[in-house]
Structure 1
């Protein structure tokens, strides 16, 4: 919060990201709503979901391209303008006689192009944020941005559903386009102010290596920082566990309505999602400052222990124990992610920073759908209790490994604190 209030460049930079993110959520809801009215709506919604996930999986490539980009501020502005143009086209398509599957498929392709550009822009942002706020304030800055972004996304979903009652699909697409135009203007302002106080030589750090050499270097840099790779894998597994908990608890609640329902089933599921989102946001905004001097390994150990406790609370089927423990788990995961980014920035060469973060983000993203698929398959093949027991055992194994690695690292006096 302090860095947002005091650092004007970071404040404008973050507001630009919030604007484009909120606009994207509003339009995503509009597109999903339109697709739900088609005859084969399930296929249309599935295609939209797949198109939304592709750019996230490709972050390692967008990060690599970002590291090879010389004038990062300038390209970010152009990417925002390109995305403005793409959604302006979408708005015109919705306003024309174009309709049905032809419209949806065309918009999915345009939306995919925009999201890939957004992934590229995200890769460009990381080293620039480091330059703007400095290494010491990075965890707080990243945590604040992540937490507020989660809150904005949650609010934007409710606002979007309300706007759809009186705004056309075309109007929402054009509104989304304007958010990118406003973001581009803010990025341009930050870039202009930054270059006034820094020489071009200071701001340009470019990776000259090929893609596979860059990935090899990224792994080498991460492995060189003692314990960093382990904590990355631990946080990836924690993300996977958190992602798996949502579908499993939905099944548990459905099978135990007398002891797990608060009000109605739909309200209970919404409450669980809201509690987890609020916990992540609280951890990102407050936790990074509150636990600034706590090592990342300690945060990871607490989070892993809480993941085991969540599974235990689901097994005893008590919603009033589940909710606070789940909120605590989400809060510590929200605290861990910005601290991990800060450690990465200090451990990795700046010219391959975006590539490394993109690679690790890909690992973090993939674990959730993979673990969810595994444990929901176990639930379908056997029962939810078996899946929960195996998930609990997985959490305990991760906890034991994390504690052992943390203890072995603490025995070495030369280790740099996370």
Structure 2
């Protein structure tokens, strides 16, 4: 089979843009004390909170009775990784590790995009989309989590086993990467990916439990979280303050949350909407009749979008997840999510305006802060609805065709024919 020859020009151009934008992000990190850059609040999480947890983990235990520790045990491995780099402070090493993982993600997207029939738009989205969040990605470990989700999706087409393992590792760090396996083709690819994900998850958890005490301590604190001010429910309550609602914003559980009457009802409604979203995704999978190579990518983005907009939290770093998944979608010319990717970029830019640039207005509930969050969450909600609608429509069989579901012709075609039968 003749392969299309890929010219090195676009790859070199994207590499140069990556180097330029990441240098700018580093400069912003150094200048992070400026008021418009958050007054140091962005980087504080690394040198104060992450470094504190690093010390606790170094003594062989996960944080216990710490209301801020709300992450699965795999997060401990990520937070310990900077300690492997000698001669650097913890903060410096953390940023170096994050940049290295960022570069690895770009390399994976470039490799996927230069294959025949694929596109470099995904690599371009990652390269240009992440700087929309200014220096925030360098001071959170969400780049590392997103990299595992990206690698899971890109690897799953050639090796469902590898895809399952990467997905499980991501879920051990932050739970959401488990959603990336939702769109695996039916039959053997799904069974293989999910089985390997299960075994990898159990093995990883066992290793962490053998090395550290209290590996499940995060569960106690996760359940106590309320409604964060950046969430859809938090935005609605913030707007209600202008209509006389007596609630207020308060720092708790590591975030600014809304407290006051009816907050519990809003939190319950968010959880109910998350359950409804999960039900819709299950219904899509049961009724889907047409798969392409892009279907697993599109399903992952749609699932994470739905779970994001119905969350009680919706922190700004969640946009890193969405940029990474949208980038994977754009590596395929068959994706249905191109308009959604544009909305993700718009929401990312609005998130930056909300935090760190004008976060004081958001917290105090001024009209400017409320309208800014309303715009960001409105774009995110539109993206989630549009994503699922396009995913649903793309699952219909081509016009004039009926019969059993169709499977992708590329990527998974390396498996035997019997492997693609319905489960």
TM-score, length of structure 2 as denominator length = 0.31
By percentage of residues, which structure has more helix? 1
TM-score, length of structure 1 as denominator length = 0.31
The higher-RCO structure (CA 8 Å, 6+ apart) is: 1
